[in-house]
């Protein structure tokens, strides 16, 4: 709002209150500048730290104890874990969003679902990790596996995915539904052919935002997918039952974020801090890409789908 010029000030306002107003304006602008400055310096810091570390060979080679080495297996694990998690979380989240937006009545059950949604969102990620530890590692005797990690991540991110899809679906105008129903379509046909297609830009944005969070998560995975550093992956080994195969969901799966935590806690070797700086720079750029991607893709899809 444009409250910067208030003529009445000069008539009634005391000098002190005008000064206080000026001071407050400066302070509030200061908060905005502070955030930008902080973000800018973080990006510059990692830009400098990653200089000379991040290179094609860093991304494409195996970790090493005696040289800088690379992070290929860990980067692969992060992407694999993301894919596996989204494979489960996206359908369940969107279906749940459809229920909450299209079917849920104003009753106790809906209330309970919302409470559960908020409760899971507020449970510390480390506790969700511990839950995964009891359930998958101890009770199902799976050991530390990519699958256990992906399931724990799904549980943790399901509320976010559900709520974002619900919002995307709710944003579809009511008239579209009425028109479809008036043409004789059933409720599900309406959802399937009218509501969901119209909500696709919003749904895609919610998927990418959830993906960004999954990609950077570590605490959930610490006790479900494990901390072991893979030495080398043979990408031609497609035997899913073989724990050594990089394609198998039943193998320990250390991701980038977990790897950073592990390296800093061990703190050995002269290359460790370089590897962590490089990994952190890659992690941040990926998350940045997810965020910008969500905005761009959302805008593009909206334009294409609504203009057509």
* Token pair 């050991």: residue: 143
The pair of three-digit structure tokens given for residue 77, joined into one six-digit string: 């694990």
Shortest distance, CB of residue 239 to other proteins, whole angstroms? Answer: 29
Query: Based on CB atoms, which residue is closest to other proteins, 88 or 301?
Result: 88
CB of 126 to other proteins, least distance (A): 4
Q: Under the criterion CB under 8 A, does residue 227 sit at the interface with other proteins? A: yes
Q: What is the token pair recorded at 265?
A: 């806690």
**296 lines the binding site for other proteins (CB under 8 A):** no
Q: Does 88 bind other proteins (CB under 8 A)?
A: no
User: Is there binding between residue 11 and other proteins (CB under 8 A)?
Assistant: yes
**How far apart are alpha carbons 224 and 153 in whole angstroms?**
9
Q: Which of 37, 69, 36 is nearest to 279 (CA)?
A: 69
Residue 232 binding other proteins, by CB under 8 A: no
Taking residue 264's Cβ as centre, other Cβ atoms within 10 Å add up to 12
In the region spanning residues 51 to 80, those forming contacts with other proteins, defined by CB under 8 A, are none
Quick check: 300 binds other proteins (CB under 8 A)? no
- Interface residue with other proteins among 77, 85, 125, 248 (CB under 8 A) is 125
Q: How many residues bind other proteins (CB under 8 A)?
A: 99
> What residues contact residue 150 under an 8 Å CB cut-off, 6+ apart?
81, 84, 85, 87, 88, 225, 249
Alpha-carbon gap, residue 133 to 136, rounded angstroms:
6
Q: Of the two residues 188 and 235, which places its CB atom closer to other proteins in the complex?
A: 188
Q: Which of residues 197-216 bind other proteins (CB under 8 A)?
A: 212-213, 215-216
Virtual torsion, Cα 58, 59, 60, 63, nearest 10 deg: 60
Considering only residues 265-284, where is the footprint of other proteins by CB under 8 A? 265, 273, 276, 280, 283-284
């Amino acid at each position: 709002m444009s409250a910067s010029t208030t003529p009445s000030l000069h008539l009634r306002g005391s000098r002190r209150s005008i000064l206080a107003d000026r001071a407050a304006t400066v302070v509030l602008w200061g908060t905005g500048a502070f955030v930008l400055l902080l973000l800018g310096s973080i990006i510059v810091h990692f830009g400098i730290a990653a200089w000379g570390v991040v290179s094609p060979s860093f991304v494409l080679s195996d970790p090493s104890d005696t040289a800088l080495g690379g992070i290929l297996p860990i980067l692969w694990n992060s992407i694999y874990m993301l894919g596996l998690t989204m494979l489960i979380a996206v359908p369940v989240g969107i279906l749940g969003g459809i229920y909450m937006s299209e079917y849920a009545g104003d009753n106790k059950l809906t209330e309970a679902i919302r409470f559960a949604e908020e409760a899971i969102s507020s449970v510390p990620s480390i506790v969700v990790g511990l839950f995964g530890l009891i359930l998958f590692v101890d009770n199902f005797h799976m050991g530390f596996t990519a699958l256990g990690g992906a399931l724990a991540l799904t549980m943790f991110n399901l509320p976010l995915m559900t709520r974002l899809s619900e919002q995307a679906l709710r944003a579809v105008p009511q008239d579209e539904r009425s028109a479809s129903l008036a043409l004789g379509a059933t409720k599900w046909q309406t959802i399937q052919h009218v509501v969901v297609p119209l909500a696709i830009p919003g749904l895609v944005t919610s998927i990418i935002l959830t993906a960004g969070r999954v990609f950077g998560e570590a605490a959930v995975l610490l006790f479900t997918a494990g901390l072991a550093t893979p030495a080398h992956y043979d990408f031609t080994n497609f035997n899913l039952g073989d724990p050594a195969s990089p394609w198998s969901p039943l193998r320990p799966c250390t991701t980038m974020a977990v790897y950073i935590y592990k390296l800093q806690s061990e703190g050995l070797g002269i290359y460790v801090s370089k590897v962590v700086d490089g990994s952190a720079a890659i992690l941040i750029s990926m998350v940045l890409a997810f965020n910008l991607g969500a905005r761009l893709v959302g805008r593009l899809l909206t334009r294409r789908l609504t203009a057509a």
